Amino acid sequence: MIDKKVFESHDEKAWCPGCGNHGILEALKQALAELGKEPHEVVIASGIGQAAKTPHYINVNGFNGLHGRAIPPAVGAKIANKELTVIINSGDGDSYGEGGNHLLHNIRRNVDITHFVHDNQIYGLTKGQASPTTAQGQTTSIQTGGVVVNPLNPLAFAISLGCTFVARSFAGDKDHLVPIMKAAIQHKGYALVDILQPCVVFNKVNTYQWYKERVYHLDEGYDVTNKMAAFQKSYEWNEGIPMGIIYQEEKETYIDRVATLRDGSPLVNRTLDPKKAERFLEDFR
């Protein structure tokens, strides 16, 4: 086990006191330490938003890009160096809204990266705009008459598309979150973890107390390979919210399917020889 302190960053955090992002960040450091990961072995990518500031607050390689564009650089990093542990930390708006198209197609590709969605059911950075997971009818600082559209169910969405690892945890339950993070990072393939994360300023409905009255742990007898059971669990919400690995299966990753990537050393370590391209130039002479 690595000393968790190696992941400490000296950057001042801009998150509000009590924000669920703090708990997720501490759980992530602990998970990486318990997995024995060194900082240079890890890349964390994000888009835009409060959760997307995570790469600034942890001592690993980081990429903070455009809104909703966390997945493309994460995929690129993994393909360039398949030995890296590549993790995305971004919010529900960034991941399920602006980044929805990238999410959909990475599930199809099954690139071996881990995606932690800090799901606070609101856009915190834009001061309370409804996100794709805000409940219909919920009033916000922008939707003062209540949200009129249906919320996205991210777990059912991912399961229906064939995602190979789908899980849910809670920022207020570190003892549950750390092992879920470790399992997701160790999973071979694309892993999506929806982390319920209270926004103490802009979401006055889904508070720590609200979640604590509803979340429950899946029992040891739950079969994570049963897709129909997973669909049923993904639709449990108001009366009880299941936490744990909802669905998991083994499937070839994108790199497994591409011989050039699968066989041999990581692309980043290979010698670049421009002369090998000369045979392609013959077609233009």
Q: What is the pLDDT of residues 59-107, one digit of tens each?
A: 999 999 999 999 999 999 999 999 999 999 999 999 999 999 999 999 9
Is the pLDDT score of 111 beyond 90?
yes
CB-facing half-sphere around the CA of 3: CA atoms within 13 A? 3
Distance from the Cα of residue 220 to its chain's centroid: 24
Q: What's the average model confidence in pLDDT over 249-276?
A: 94
The enclosing H or E element of 155 equals: helix 154-160
183 in Cβ contact with 166 (< 8 Å): no
Question: Which pTM was predicted?
Answer: 0.95
Architecture per CATH, domain 4-283, reads as: 3-Layer(aba) Sandwich (3.40)
Pairing assessment for the beta strands 165-170 and 241-248 based on DSSP bridges: antiparallel
Residues 6+ away with beta carbon under 8 Å from 196: 20, 119, 168, 169, 170, 171, 206, 211, 215, 241
pLDDT band at 277 (very low <50, low <70, confident <90, very high): confident
43 and 84 Cβ atoms separated by less than 8 Å: yes
Euclidean distance between CA atoms 262 and 259, whole angstroms: 5
The whole-angstrom separation of Cα 174 and Cα 178 is 6
Q: Residue 238: pLDDT above 90?
A: no
